[in-house]
Structure 1
Amino acid sequence: MAVAGWAYWHLDHNIQGVDIDHALGDDRPRERPAAASSPAGPAAASPLPTGAVNILVLGSDSRSGGRNAALGGGDSGGARSDTAMVVHVDPGRTSATVVSIPRDTLVTRPSCPLPSGRTTAVAYGTMFNSAYEVGGPVCAVKTAESLTGVRMDHYVEIDFSGFAGLVDALGGVSVTTDEDIDDDKSHLHLPAGTHHLDGTRALALARTRHGLGDGSDLGRIGLQQKLVRALLERVSGSGLPSDPAGLYRVADAVTGSLTTDTGLDSLGELTDFARSLKGLTADRVRTVTMPVVPAPSDPNRVVAKEPAASRLWESLR
């Protein structure tokens, strides 16, 4: 019991929470009405949620800590959202849509509150991933909501070391690439074909862009979506629920590098949320990219393609 208690305390204290609801107040898209919940089990204290939910998931390029520095280089300042996805889970929580937002998308970044009590200035025609850099998770959520018109019910951020650790704790993932990848910047060199990747190489695959196609962010997003599906398939087939040691390794790898909103910042809340998704399998997850076109002001950047982008976001509200 003492070991179990320590393990719970350790995992629970790994998670960092950000009170996004308090920081943003009422200046947000309309909240979805609460849906009915399902029983969590005979010994459960509260029922599990079953309603639709939208989650902003960011992969951060923070270099804080030795493991992150080794994986990404640079210093701990000026971190940006290296990867951004809006995960929409449908009512009943047995199917989902994952929408990637290219980090090079030019947006109007709204004024965001800062922990100091000050606010950032509105910025026009700036890259989407700059929001995290100037205002952290709160500004990332506000910018995503401004771009999409979709209220983000939750926020989840994982850094380099957390992603690599998750892949390693799962025993690696298998991904098929359609073309050779030769990228000195990400230190990744793979011939076309199927590869079983450890955490370091899976992270390199998620970040590579210079050795693929035209070097744009759109080619990299395709690889990231393959990794998402590979991770889901790995989790589904890993037998983790019956393997306490394996489950602990995965939980320790993830929670040690995880930042969430205050609705998910405890082990109990995360566990209940994960259990509410037990019917969601990899084959019920659709991955898409926000429709974009080259930006008129800069051919190396993109802007949302209308009205296709608005129609996509409307389907997730």
Structure 2
Amino acid sequence: MAGLDEHGDEGRPAGRRSRLLKTAGLTLAALLVLGAGAAGWVYWQLDDNITGVDINSALGDDRPPRALVTPSAGASASPLPSGALNILVLGSDSRDGAENRELGGGEGGSARSDTAMVVHLDAGRTAATVVSIPRDTLVTRPSCPLESGGESAETYGAMFNSAYTVGGPVCAVKTVETLTGVRMDHYLEIDFSGFADLVDALGGVTVTTEEDIDDDQSHLRLDAGTHHLDGEQALGLVRTRHGIGDGSDLGRIELQHTLVKALLERISALGLLTDVARLYDVADAVTGSLTTDTGLDSLGELIELGRSLHGLSADDVTTVTMPVVPAPSDRNRVVADEPEAGELWESLR
């Protein structure tokens, strides 16, 4: 064939061709090793971001029973989890770090649970119920183990969000379980800066408000209508209470439910699994400000939970608020409205 001889392709000496092929092979091998190393480094970095708290060991056996899981017939050897699950999700107003303080975390002192939601995943993971607990709810705060040793005293008529201040995630979980009689299988907490970073990593979120918002404390001003919010504005929305309705926590919870649905729609629309760069940004934003129980404190465990929810859409999620009435002792506070509240929690067991 023209241009070819015994020396190799296009007259190139066979030895030189061999050296070039060897060099190319070594280069490819090096790139593969570097790529695998980079992927390992990224996984390690994201995994190392997560803070874990051993809630199960701290609380022991004095807790509501776990939900019974019935294996489905014909399940594969290693199926994704599909049983019912209850997760306590807290948004904390942490004072740690300049960014949190700039976003309204305040100066000094302990963090509080600014937002509290019990997320119930139905068996099969095809539907979910999100139940918000108003932070102004007066509850019985049980005796909780303290990081410094010993235990806090049981307190009647305590503000719900004081549990986190007193005993962190452990006391928050124990207080919710005492209030609801429902076992919290997992715990997730994200702070102000982490939430804002998450929304920014998603490219913002679109919400529709039914009334004008003008709240000096959350620093949010919006006309009624549809808006595309960045992270700081979205954080302002979930913290707004004085600029809407009667200024109570109940109006603020309605805005939070609106944003939950909007975030689910945004995540579904993005197709994160096909956008590696954005997936990394989102994962970095979430894990960098995330505290979980030790059952979810690795990237692998979080990924498995996320994969088990792949069929869940915003339309499959119901958002409600624990039924409450004004507290007899303080009209600015609320207490659980029984028997309605008890019936709601019973449906999640």
2:48 aligned with 1:13, yes or no? yes
Q: Out of 327, 330, 347, which is 1:298 matched to?
A: 330
Which residue in 2 is equivalent to 1:106?
138
2:99, 2:269 → 1: CA distance? 28
**Native 8 Å contact 2:69 2:84 kept in 1:** no
Deviations 1:88-107 (A, max 9, x none): 00000010000000000000
Which residue in 2 is equivalent to 1:121?
153
In structure 2, the CA distance between the partners of 1:37 and 1:76, relative to structure 1 (3 Å rule), is farther
TM-score (norm 1): 0.96
In structure 2, the CA distance between the partners of 1:304 and 1:264, relative to structure 1 (3 Å rule), is same
Which residue in 2 is equivalent to 1:270?
302
Secondary structure of the corresponding residue to residue 227 of structure 1: helix
2:251 aligned with 1:219, yes or no? yes
2:80, 2:214 → 1: CA distance? 46
2:61 aligned with 1:26, yes or no? yes
Alignment of 1:145-184 (within 5 A): 145-184=177-216
Q: Which runs of 4+ in 1 moved over 6 A?
A: 37-41
**Native 8 Å contact 2:103 2:192 kept in 1:** yes
**Native 8 Å contact 1:38 1:50 kept in 2:** no
In structure 2, the CA distance between the partners of 1:208 and 1:310, relative to structure 1 (3 Å rule), is same
Which of the pair has more CA radius of gyration?
A: 2
1:285, 1:261 → 2: CA distance? 23
2:327, 2:343 → 1: CA distance? 20
**Native 8 Å contact 1:98 1:286 kept in 2:** yes
1:63 is displaced (CA, Å) by 1.6
**Native 8 Å contact 1:150 1:316 kept in 2:** yes
Deviations 1:20-57 (A, max 9, x none): 0000000100111234379999xxx9431100000000
2:105, 2:94 → 1: CA distance? 9
2:339 aligned with 1:315, yes or no? no
Aligned residues: 314
1:184 is displaced (CA, Å) by 1.1
Stretches of structure 1 that go unaligned for 5 or more consecutive residues are none
Which residue in 2 is equivalent to 1:259?
291
In structure 2, the CA distance between the partners of 1:30 and 1:204, relative to structure 1 (3 Å rule), is same
2:228 aligned with 1:193, yes or no? no
The root-mean-square deviation of aligned C-alpha atoms, in Å, is: 1.5
Amino acid in structure 1 at the alignment position of 2:190 = I
Higher relative contact order (CA 8 A, sep 6+): 1
Bigger helix share: 2
Identity, % of aligned pairs? 75
1:239 is displaced (CA, Å) by 1.2
